């Protein structure tokens, strides 16, 4: 177990959707910091003390990309557990994922994002996304009846 690791950390991930004349788009960020530096992901991050998860979602998108969004619906909770290579755990995040809709702004990499892009949600192979990321993107773009229990 990593010395700095105390327990699971709550985090929020956000599937930001935007409709364009060329079709729907999803916002992706290339991580600038560990864990997963250099990999493509959804915007998101740590929940701060006194902040709701929906507030976290909007703040993290703004801090990482400069975009204003409306947090729409809850998608899922995912445990992201990264082994430390010595039989312990390096990172354990409990990720609360939401869909959000773009309101304003052009994405610019900031905070812990090295790069940002709008991607076609039906053509994401080049981004080598984690299977859970692909799954929640699919949930965010599924017809409403497919998401509701």
Q: What's the mean pLDDT in 22-34?
A: 93
Q: What's the mean pLDDT in 16-38?
A: 92
Dist CA 120 CA 23 (whole Å)? 8
Dist CA 63 CA 114 (whole Å)? 12
Q: What's the mean pLDDT in 14-30?
A: 97
Dist CA 127 CA 29 (whole Å)? 10
Task: Say what the pLDDT of residue 112 is.
Answer: 84
pLDDT in tens, 36-90: 788 999 999 999 999 999 999 999 999 999 999 999 999 999 998 888 889 888 8
Determine which of 7-11, 96-100, 138-142 has the lowest per-residue pLDDT on average.
7-11
Is residue 33 very low, low, confident or very high in pLDDT (cuts 50, 70, 90)? confident
**What CATH class is the domain 9-141?**
alpha beta
The DSSP code sequence of 17-72 is EEEETTEEEEEEEEE-SSSSTT-EE-SEEEPPTT--HHHHHHHHHHHHH--EEEEE
pLDDT in tens, 91-131: 888 999 999 999 999 999 997 889 999 999 999 999 999 99
pLDDT at 146 > cutoff 90: no
In which region does residue 111 sit, left (phi positive, over 0), alpha (psi from -120 to 50) or beta (all else)? left
Find, among 26, 37, 91, 94, the residue nearest to 61 by Cα. 26
Longest CA pairwise span in the chain (Å): 50
List of residues 6+ apart from 59 with CB closer than 8 A: 48, 51
Under a CB-based contact definition with an 8 Å cutoff, are residues 62 and 12 in contact? Answer: no
């Amino acid at each position: 177990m990593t010395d700095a690791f105390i327990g699971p950390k709550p985090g929020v991930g956000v599937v930001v959707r935007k409709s364009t004349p060329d079709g729907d788009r999803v916002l992706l960020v290339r991580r600038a910091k560990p864990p997963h530096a250099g990999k493509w992901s959804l915007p998101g991050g740590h929940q701060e003390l006194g902040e709701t998860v929906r507030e976290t979602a909007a703040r993290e998108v703004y801090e990482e990309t400069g975009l204003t969004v409306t947090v729409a619906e809850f998608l899922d909770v995912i445990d992201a557990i990264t082994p430390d290579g010595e039989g312990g755990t390096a990172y354990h995040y409990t990720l609360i994922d939401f869909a959000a809709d773009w309101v304003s702004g052009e994405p610019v990499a900031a905070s812990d994002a090295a790069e940002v892009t709008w991607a076609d949600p039906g053509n994401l192979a080049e981004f080598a996304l984690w299977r859970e990321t692909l799954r929640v993107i699919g949930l965010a773009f599924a017809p409403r009846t497919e998401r509701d229990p």
